[in-house]
Amino acid sequence: MKPWLGVVKVSIEIPGAGNLKDRRQVVRSLNERIKKHFNASCSDLGPDAVWNRADIAACCVGSSHSEIASRIEQLCGFVDRAGDSGEFMITCMEHEVFAYGDL
């Protein structure tokens, strides 16, 4: 049985960030909430020296396509609702579900 992977990439703008510390706080908070609610791995993809934008990726692994597809859809909805707080704005969100080995 192949493991299934779901990956979400989110690009955000952080209008209230005046420096890299503000950016890190927003990104760290979002990553921690995703990890807590979805048991997903998260990473800040950059850009490194820009304080008002960030790219974040999250990944889930499971045993079936339907399980991972459902979790990824829920994760996307969660991020979308988190953006309603005004802390950040989503500029792009992409997701994909695939079987390991089908890359």
pLDDT, tens only, 80-100:
999 988 899 999 999 999 998
Q: What mean pLDDT do residues 35-44 have?
A: 95
86 DSSP assignment = S
Per-chain mean pLDDT for the chain: 94
Q: What is the pLDDT of residue 85?
A: 85
**103: pLDDT strictly greater than 70:** no
Over residues 51-69, the pLDDT tens digits come to: 999 999 999 999 999 999 9
Q: What mean pLDDT do residues 8-37 have?
A: 94
For the entire predicted model, the pTM comes to 0.89
Q: What CATH number corresponds to the domain at position 63?
A: 3.30.70.1120
CB atoms near residue 58 (< 10 Å): 24
**CA–CA separation, 42 and 39 (whole Å):** 9
Helix axes 65-83, 20-38, angle to 10 degrees: 140
Rg (C-alpha) for the chain, rounded Å, is 14
Q: How many domains does the chain have?
A: 1
Provide the residue type at 31 as one letter: N
Q: Copy the structure tokens of residue 92.
A: 């792009």
Domain carrying residue 86: 4-99
